[in-house]
Amino acid sequence: MTVQEKEAGTINNQVATRTVPKSAFAKLGKQYQLVLMSVPAVLLLILFSYVPLWGWIMAFEHYTPAKGVMGSRFAGWDNFRMLFRDPLFYQALRNTLAMSLLSLAAGFVGAIALALLLNEVRSRLFKRVVQTITYIPHFVSWVVIANIILLGLSPDGGIVNELLLKLGLIDEPIYFMAKGNWFWIIHTMAGLWKELGWSTIIYLAVLSGVNPELYEAAEVDGAGRFGKMLHISIPGLMPTAMMLMILNVGWILSAGYESQFLLGSNLVIDYSQVLDLYAMNYAFSIGDYSLGVAISVFKSVVSIILVVAVNFLARRLGQSKVF
């Protein structure tokens, strides 16, 4: 064996030694500060996200509070059969899907549009003022937001009715909150007003990281503002937008209940009752806790399926994905 071959063999052995992966425990030992910092977050996650899953047993029992989870009679799939036979369940499911999809679409398009417009504003003062005005409602309680909307749409001196009357567009006040087929739109607009500015912050942060040289090159090539938005800003936003879309899809069946409860009434209950309100009525009004938990199990299973499906679709399309 020549000297060159020996040297080559030594180098190859050194490279192979360097490329051998280190033990995961050795890496954790060297990063013990980060591990210790993550312990409180992991404990909170386990305490509030995984420990309550023990209560899912109630969905398969004829649960009675006096006997507890372990003492209640086993029911199998009876609660789910009862759930899927109830017409009110499908009505609540329809309302939940409709309001969630409308809010998701309006928030997605609105936040991107506002971020693109603010990104083109040259005055920093004006941009900050608009940002402040738009994201302040995020910190306001739904109780306050709902009361503002109810007062504004009131037929008795509400600003919307007064304006329409003065413009001659209507002859008598309209009972907006008594029209069930308008409830979904009113709820979507209320949610958009409350959360639009907060959602826009993420997209503005992404746009601030786009290389300015891309805009300069496009301007040299003769592109206008809309051309730069279309070919630079929007493609730069798409990975983040797709990631947020996947995460938000998991909350489609969790439309909440606070906004619907505050804005709704018995006049529009056929359009305002969502799954959470439906479950709450069964659990606390009727006392059927098992059926309320069965609804929660159904929501969780469907949410997982939706997230996995949308993530798979994003992967097939070559877009950003969660896993």
Domain ranges (residues) in the chain: 1-76, 81-316
Query: What is the C-alpha to C-alpha distance for residues 251 and 249, in angstroms, rounded to an integer?
Result: 5
Query: What is the C-alpha to C-alpha distance for residues 195 and 187, in angstroms, rounded to an integer?
Result: 12
Query: What is the C-alpha to C-alpha distance for residues 313 and 309, in angstroms, rounded to an integer?
Result: 6
Alpha helices in 46-86 (DSSP H): 68-71, 78-84
Q: Comparing C-alpha atoms, which of 110, 132, 92 is closest to residue 275?
A: 92
Q: Give me the percent of the chain exceeding a pLDDT of 90.
A: 28
Residue 109: its pLDDT value, please? 92
Dihedral pair phi/psi, residue 62, rounded to 5°: -90, 80
Dihedral pair phi/psi, residue 61, rounded to 5°: -135, 160
Q: Is the pLDDT of residue 21 over 70?
A: no
CB 215 within 8 A of CB 229: no
Q: Binning pLDDT at 50, 70 and 90, where does residue 11 land?
A: very low
Query: What is the C-alpha to C-alpha distance for residues 282 and 257, in angstroms, rounded to an integer?
Result: 14
CB 219 within 8 A of CB 228: yes
CA angle 311, 105, 260 (to 5 degrees): 110
CB 184 within 8 A of CB 271: yes
192-220 burial: b if 16+ Cβ within 10 Å, else e: bbbbbbbbbebbbebbeebeeeeeeebee
Q: At what angle do helices 180-208 and 124-135 cross, to 10 degrees?
A: 140
200 or 311, which is more confident: 200
CB 195 within 8 A of CB 107: yes
71-102 burial: b if 16+ Cβ within 10 Å, else e: ebeebeeebbeebeeeeebebbbebbebbbeb
Q: Is the pLDDT of residue 76 over 80?
A: yes
CB 271 within 8 A of CB 226: no
Residue 135: its pLDDT value, please? 87
Q: Binning pLDDT at 50, 70 and 90, where does residue 320 land?
A: low
pTM for this entry: 0.81
CATH topology of domain 81-316: MetI-like fold (1.10.3720)
The residues, ordered by sequence, that sit 6+ positions from 181 with a Cβ below 8 Å of its Cβ are 271
Residue 101: its pLDDT value, please? 92
Query: What is the C-alpha to C-alpha distance for residues 191 and 199, in angstroms, rounded to an integer?
Result: 11
Q: Is 61 helix (H, G, I), strand (E, B) or coil?
A: strand
Mean pLDDT score of the chain: 84
Residue 120: its pLDDT value, please? 85
Q: At what angle do helices 180-208 and 142-152 cross, to 10 degrees?
A: 130
- pLDDT mean over 126-139: 89
Residue 2: its pLDDT value, please? 53
Q: Is the pLDDT of residue 18 over 60?
A: no
Q: Binning pLDDT at 50, 70 and 90, where does residue 322 land?
A: low
